[in-house]
Amino acid sequence: MSDAEQENTASTRASQSKRQSGEDAYGRKKRKKTEKNERDLWEDTIRGYGRAFCRVGDMWTRASFVIGAGIGVYDDSEDDAESETDDADDDGVTSQTHKATKKPLGYDIWITSYDKLKKIYPDLERDLTSEKKKYATKSRIETLLQDGIKSARQADTSCIKTNLDHLFDFQPSIAKTNKVYLGFGNDQTGRLLTPVQLSWDSTEHRERLQKKLEEIKHDDLFVFMYEDQNCDLTALNKGLLRSNILVNAVLAILFGPSAVKCSEPGPSDAKAKKAGNADLGGITRVTPGLIAYAACLVRFALSSELQLTPGDGQGRGFDNCAFYRSLVSLLETPTSSPIRKNWRKELLSWWNAIFPKSIDDLPTRSAGSLSTMDQMLAQEAAEEREAGSEASGLTDRTNHGTL
């Protein structure tokens, strides 16, 4: 074989090798793309669970603490305590070196929140133990859930703050009022934020609130939380957590601001009917967590505070986390009181009776119902169909010689 032929043969083999290598590379690239799409879809789903968990489960607890408590990360101390009985002295006193460590502060909340998370994220425990998805690690799940919690809290805080003027009949409007001038610096928002044991109409009380001389506790009940902003101090649970501003806040969070903008020219039907957070998160009923969540966001929106923070628990600023926990406890903590049980039952029944199961159940006017012009066009279309039907029947009878 000549040198030229040898070079051609070598070139052919190299080309074939490149083609084969190219096919393999293309296949690998395609597989990686498929895997990436699957992973991206899975991650979006987990973030969605995090957003729903924030709204109806727990808005403040970190996902890593919730999962850690749920899978027994903090149970070692109890196991040690049980095994310590074998090492006890004859007098029954256990050696100090084996003294059990107490559960971390907040453990009971984390356990309760874990049960809520499992209802939202049905495959949680399977994903935590499965080895089929290499990317579905415990740390990754925790990170994605936390991303969802954070994004929901930020989005909903902005939604309530931006649309506050639509949640309540403010006269005059506060839509263009800078937030720093709200709170007790504004007559309307100050009245709504007044603890019910005080009176905004009292000059003394109002001045103490405005000058920050009055201590406001996280477990105070505020005027905005009551139906018609009316509280009977002899029956504090009457009308509590039934205010229109809270109802509108929940609608705005779950279905979008258009759900509460029905008295003015609004968006088109297509925009008003798009899937909201309720549909995306599979939220079909009102929970104690959702009511507390809405109350926390509304209180912040009414205030002059510029950022929603959990609070430091040291009295520096309002403790939003403690306020949220106090409401959840009011609605969830086991109680032997038949009055409290009945009040909770009636409250949740009231909420779920008015809660729309989907965006299609929302009462609408400008955004959802037919305008008079649309009704006229619909009537004309119906008349045309009827006239066309009569003409068709006349033609049939003519063809069959029945006339």
What pLDDT score does 311 carry?
A: 81
Please report which helix (H) or strand (E) contains residue 164, including its range.
helix 164-167
SS3 181: helix
What pLDDT score does 73 carry?
A: 87
Query: Do the Cβ atoms of 167 and 298 come closer than 8 Å?
Result: yes
Query: Do the Cβ atoms of 379 and 273 come closer than 8 Å?
Result: no
Q: Report the largest interatomic distance among the alpha carbons of the chain, rounded to a whole angstrom.
A: 115
What pLDDT score does 80 carry?
A: 44
What pLDDT score does 98 carry?
A: 39
What pLDDT score does 27 carry?
A: 60
In DSSP notation, 59-106 reads SSS-HHHHHHHHTTTT-HHHHHHHHGGGG--TTSPPPGGGPPPPPPTT
For residue 226, list its beta bridge partners: 240
Whole-number Cα distances in Å, 399 to 131, 205, 224, 389, 403: 73, 89, 73, 16, 9
Q: Over its length of 403 residues, how does the chain's per-residue pLDDT go in tens digits? A: 555 555 556 555 655 554 555 556 656 555 665 666 889 999 999 999 999 999 999 999 999 999 999 999 887 654 443 334 344 444 444 444 434 457 888 999 999 999 999 999 999 999 999 887 888 899 999 999 999 999 999 999 999 999 999 999 999 999 999 999 999 999 999 999 999 999 999 999 999 999 999 999 999 999 999 999 999 999 999 999 999 999 999 999 999 998 887 544 334 344 444 568 988 898 999 999 999 999 999 999 999 999 999 986 666 789 999 999 999 999 999 999 999 999 999 999 999 998 875 555 555 444 344 444 445 556 666 676 677 666 655 555 555 555 4
Q: How far apart are CA 305 and CA 176, in angstroms?
A: 16
CB atoms within 10 A of CB 385: 10
Residue whose token pair is 């499992």 = 118
Nearest C-alpha neighbor of 321 from the set 310, 332, 330, 309:
310
Q: How far apart are CA 165 and CA 179, in angstroms?
A: 12
Q: How far apart are CA 224 and CA 245, in angstroms?
A: 7
Q: How far apart are CA 323 and CA 318, in angstroms?
A: 8
SS3 240: strand
Give, to the nearest 10 degrees, the angle between helix 288-302 and helix 138-162.
Answer: 50
Whole-number Cα distances in Å, 31 to 36, 44, 142, 228: 8, 20, 27, 60
Sign of the alpha-carbon dihedral angle for 294, 297, 300, 302: negative
Q: How far apart are CA 196 and CA 299, in angstroms?
A: 14
Query: Do the Cβ atoms of 303 and 182 come closer than 8 Å?
Result: yes
Checking phi first, is residue 228 left (phi over 0); if not, alpha (psi -120 to 50) or beta?
left
What pLDDT score does 189 carry?
A: 98
Q: How far apart are CA 239 and CA 232, in angstroms?
A: 9
Q: How far apart are CA 150 and CA 320, in angstroms?
A: 15
What pLDDT score does 20 carry?
A: 52
Ranges assigned E (strand) in 199-308: none
Query: Do the Cβ atoms of 75 and 100 come closer than 8 Å?
Result: no
What pLDDT score does 372 carry?
A: 46
Query: What is the per-residue burial (b if ≥16 Cβ within 10 Å, else e) of 157-183?
Result: bebbbebbebbbebeeebeebebeebb
The one-letter code for the residue type at 67 is I
What pLDDT score does 82 carry?
A: 37
What pLDDT score does 202 carry?
A: 97
Q: How far apart are CA 93 and CA 76, in angstroms?
A: 21
